[in-house]
Structure 1
Amino acid sequence: MNLLHKYQDNAEKFSVFKKFSNSNLTTPIAKDKWSPIQIIGHILYWDIFTLEKMIPLMKNGATLPAFPDHGQHNHEAMKYIERFVDVDEIINEFVSTRNLLVNEFENLDRSITFIIENEPGPYTLERYIKIFLDHDIYHLNQIMESIGQK
């Protein structure tokens, strides 16, 4: 699955940010916006959600729970990353979690379809991964632009 490889490659793209200064990574990208490290923490938290709440239920014909309220989920993500000591630790956790998530996706039957509550369906693995791949790319571009790398 080509999308899955791109999804995994994003872990490496985000890990490049370890070479940037803490001030680059902890300064908000714009007024009233998150910092790059908070954005990475946000993506990490979505990966954890997928790994813990969705992957175990991804079976052919299954109905998966609705995606969480985005505002609440993002608030929880910011609380979650408070446990980390520094930005490298968050990035390392993101890369590790993404690799685990990709491994779990690889173990699923590629032909399954499923429903996600409150979402137009059906979903395939490819459709699900594409949503989060696009999400990665959107945020990666935001970060690159904010640190003058685009």
Structure 2
Amino acid sequence: MKEQVFSKFSTYIPFLQKLEKMEDSLLGLSIKDGKWSIKEIISHIYRWDLHFLEQSIPRVLKERAINYPSYHDYNKESEIYAKTIEAKTLLQDSIQVRKQLLHRLPELETILFEPITINGYTNCPSTNEPFTLINYIEELVEHDNHHVQQIEEFLSKAS
């Protein structure tokens, strides 16, 4: 199971590499009226990856706990960040951070199935299942897939 989850988590990298070949102007287009651009979506995922790498992994190793900042505020900051960086640089940074995360995953193997808390909660509010790190990583994969699908749908209509 863990190998499958780790493998799925790595599939985001080739997707980003495909985006690197695209024009910056296309990456800056909103995927729908009132929605983020591709670049803003990538920034959103990048910054959550960075949070996982820099904040969550150290904390979960010490305390078996993950704390998120306010989703709304963090996502807004990601949207603003996207406007401060070139698309190619953002894509390269995103690839590097995801590679760093994949490199760090083996050190988490011994605690993948242990209970953890997320923002003080022990169970998922929608499923009532106990939180574990493997479930958290699976949720990250689902989150990636949601946004990748949005981008791919937009790109298929744009071409």
Is the shorter-chain TM-score for this pair beyond 0.5, marking a shared fold? yes
Contact 2:31 2:38 in 1 (8 A): yes
CA distance in structure 1 between the partners assigned to 2:63 and 2:45 by the alignment: 27
SS in 2 for 1:148: helix
Q: Would you say 1:133 and 2:133 are equivalent positions?
A: no
Identity of matched residues, %:
25
Note the 1:46-125 alignment, pairs <5 A.
46-59=48-61, 62-65=64-67, 67-84=68-85, 86-108=86-108, 109=110, 110-121=112-123, 122-125=130-133
CA distance in structure 2 between the partners assigned to 1:77 and 1:144 by the alignment: 21
Contact 1:59 1:113 in 2 (8 A): no
SS in 2 for 1:41: helix
Choose between structure 1 and 2 for higher RCO, CA contacts under 8 A separated by at least 6 residues: 1
CA RMSD of aligned residues (A): 2.0
Q: What residue identity is the alignment partner of 2:23?
A: S
Q: Would you say 1:35 and 2:32 are equivalent positions?
A: no
Unmatched tracts of structure 1, length 5 or more: none
CA distance in structure 2 between the partners assigned to 1:38 and 1:123 by the alignment: 29
Match of 2:152 in 1: 144
Aligned length: 148
CA distance in structure 1 between the partners assigned to 2:133 and 2:66 by the alignment: 13
Unmatched tracts of structure 2, length 5 or more: 124-129
TM-score if structure 2 supplies the norm length?
0.83
CA distance in structure 1 between the partners assigned to 2:102 and 2:155 by the alignment: 28
Task: Provide Cα deviations, 1:53-91, integer angstroms capped at 9, x if missing partner.
Answer: 1100113862332x222110111112333442x211110
Contact 1:11 1:98 in 2 (8 A): yes
